[in-house]
Structure 1
């Protein structure tokens, strides 16, 4: 059965599996974007799903990840992006965390900006089951 159009919540096992593999890639690949979209339950037939498909097809990996951030529930935002040497450091803030604390923030780093941002996003969806500060790679 194809679950690509379901609207259930994120699949933690799939998120963990993808998060475990991301540190071992040089850059984020198309199939990893689709795996993240499936794990985050992005409805492929929705407006956002079609927009995501267009971005992936165009090779706009960073924009595709930013769209995943924008459509995540509960709401999230990119709170920090920085680069030190060849590594990108990103953090995602879960917007509902009031007042803003590091407990509502997930962090990640990677040599590829899109992969770092996706790692932080996946980590933010796993914060209930994993430590909030995860630094893949």
Structure 2
């Protein structure tokens, strides 16, 4: 019987701007690769990728200020970018890689959830 193929791992580093995400991500990459792991990284939003267009435009203020654009609409911009990356992420995981994401869903939840004042409405948004 053939040995089971090792599965990859999915790790997300979340945090506010300037909190050290990139530094911690690089330290993790260095540590894992030095131990022989294959690592693939994703930084969200993926600037320059077609699927990140709307997130980039939002961040540049093309749709209004960051506080003017509602959380549900903004979440779609970021979800599109993550969805576009999902096939590549799944392939890497299926091949046994450790996938490290610098930001993912949690950042979007925090930034957009902060726009919703009503706690019940915010909870529905998170669900």
Query: Larger % of strand: which?
Result: 1
In the superposition, the TM-score normalised over structure 2's length comes to: 0.27
Query: Larger % of helix: which?
Result: 2
In the superposition, the TM-score normalised over structure 1's length comes to: 0.26
Whose RCO is larger (CA < 8 A, sep 6+)?
Answer: 2
